[in-house]
Amino acid sequence: MNDTAIIKRQFFNSLKRGTGEAYLLVRDNPKIDFSNHIIKGALNIYAYDGQSEGDRARYIFDIISISKCQDKIRKAVLQGLATEQDNTWNLTHLFALAKLYAQQNDAELKQAIYDRFLSNPIEGSDWVGAYEILELDGLNGLFYVAEKFGKYIEQNPDDWQDDWIIKRFQEENESIKVYEELKKKARTNKFIRIYLDNIKLTKASQEKHKTKPTKHKDIIDEVLNSKPYISFRRKRNLTDEEINIVAKQLISETDKSNIERLLDIFDFYKFPYDSQIILNFTNQKRTSKNRIVEYAINALKHLKSKDIRTFAIDKIQNSKNPIDYLEILVSNYKSGDFKLLSEIANKTKSEHKIEQLAGIYSDIFKANKTKECKEPLEVLYNKMNCAIHRNGIVEILIENKVINDKIRQEIKFDCDLETRKLAD
């Protein structure tokens, strides 16, 4: 493999992960044509989770801006926006990229945004492109979106729309009375009227089918009878008294299904009594009928003892799935454990498991400030394609003063705009 091929391979690896190395390689190798790989990055979002991470338009656009084949790439973007039909997040990425062209007075790509919006939409993704139109043309853009939806509803009478687009625009434009402007426009525009009427019907239907909150007699009743299992961390915070009540019930409970539900609470809260009680649950035989052992292991991350650490290290070193036990080190990390964490990270190839490791290692090193974080976090940085977790990893490297010069230079051009700010 010649030097050019090696550099291109290195570039594409960085592009897929979203690191700033890709930008630096284009900048520092002006004689190499990276256009085919850049086009792949323009037409596809390689993020681990495109919905959570959002588009990478600014990242790709910055790389395009220093490319030697800008016209070729631009034509590919134009074609991709018109034809993408398989992936919602690729399409959101293309709309966002086209918007950046439009903001630099590219009239053809601006028109392409208007033409593609709600034209042969991907199922369940009829909203894609609306926000770009609002950003480009404000209230007039909203009128266009509303009219286009009205025309679509007339042709597809079973379609329904809510008002999230209007609400979002109102939040970002407080000086405009958005609904009043739409209603005013609807007097002479039947399609905007159809759109607003459809929203009313949707709201009425949602209100009619709104589920009334279930009333529980106490916290135990709530934990055992909430369907489906709810996250008490997300729904509401439990008081210390409620945590103690749940813990006492867990100690005396004999029904395995109830034990499972009660244990799940301590994934989010520290078990307030003897940690050995939780550790004992891990001695049960794993079955397909309940998740007691799994939930007990999750609860151990909040608890610290010699026995818990011994259990964790044994499982990490000897089980088929060591990742299942790594979170226990959040409260039980000791100097030198980084070697074990680095070894696991180096061996891991699955992007899903790399993503899992990124979350766990971030938790471990947030709870345990140490320069030992450097090696295992660098391994993950060079493997992962999740910009959200990479941001957390970079923050930890900076906080512990172990960020290397290569990463420090790359983050200025990372696909995550928040990560770019860390360079300062």
Per-residue pLDDT of the chain (424 residues; tens, 9 = 90+): 679 999 999 999 999 999 999 999 999 999 999 999 999 999 999 999 888 898 999 999 999 999 989 999 999 999 999 999 999 999 999 999 999 999 999 999 999 999 999 998 999 899 999 999 999 999 999 999 999 999 999 999 999 999 999 999 999 999 999 999 999 999 999 999 999 999 999 998 888 777 777 788 889 988 888 765 556 655 568 899 999 999 999 999 999 999 999 999 999 999 999 999 999 999 887 777 778 999 999 999 999 999 999 999 999 999 999 999 999 999 999 999 999 999 999 999 999 999 999 999 999 999 999 999 999 999 999 999 999 999 999 999 999 999 999 999 999 999 999 999 999 8
Q: Give residue 213's pLDDT.
A: 75
Closest among 412, 405, 386 to 54, alpha carbons compared: 386
DSSP string, 72-126: HHHHHHHHHHHH--S-HHHHHHHHHHHHHHHTTT-HHHHHHHHHHTTSSPPTT-T
Q: Give residue 275's pLDDT.
A: 96
Closest among 52, 71, 78, 66 to 22, alpha carbons compared: 66
Q: Give residue 230's pLDDT.
A: 57
Helix (H, G, I), strand (E, B) or coil at 145: helix
Q: Give residue 235's pLDDT.
A: 58
Q: DSSP letter for 368, please.
A: S
Per the CB < 8 A criterion, the answer to whether 264 and 238 are in contact is: no
Condensed to tens digits (0 to 9), the pLDDT of residues 34-92 reads 999 999 999 999 999 888 898 999 999 999 999 989 999 999 999 999 999 999 999 99
Nearby residues of 386 by Cβ (< 8 Å), 6 or more positions away: 47, 48, 49, 53, 355, 358
Long-range CB contacts (within 8 A, 24+) of 245-250: 245/218, 245/219, 245/220, 246/219, 246/220, 247/271, 247/272, 247/273, 249/220, 250/277
Burial class (CB in 10 A: 0-12, 13-18, 19+), 126: middle
CA dist., res. 329 & res. 252, Å (int): 28
HSE-CB for 367 with a 13 A CA cutoff: 18
Q: Please confirm whether the linkage preceding 228 is cis (ω < 30° from 0).
A: yes
Helix (H, G, I), strand (E, B) or coil at 137: helix
330 token code pair: 């959040």
Closest among 420, 328, 411 to 21, alpha carbons compared: 411
Q: Could you tell me the CA-to-CA distances from 199 to 174, 289, 396 in Å, in that order?
A: 21, 44, 45
Length of the chain: 424
Condensed to tens digits (0 to 9), the pLDDT of residues 178-214 reads 999 999 999 999 999 999 999 999 998 888 777 777 7
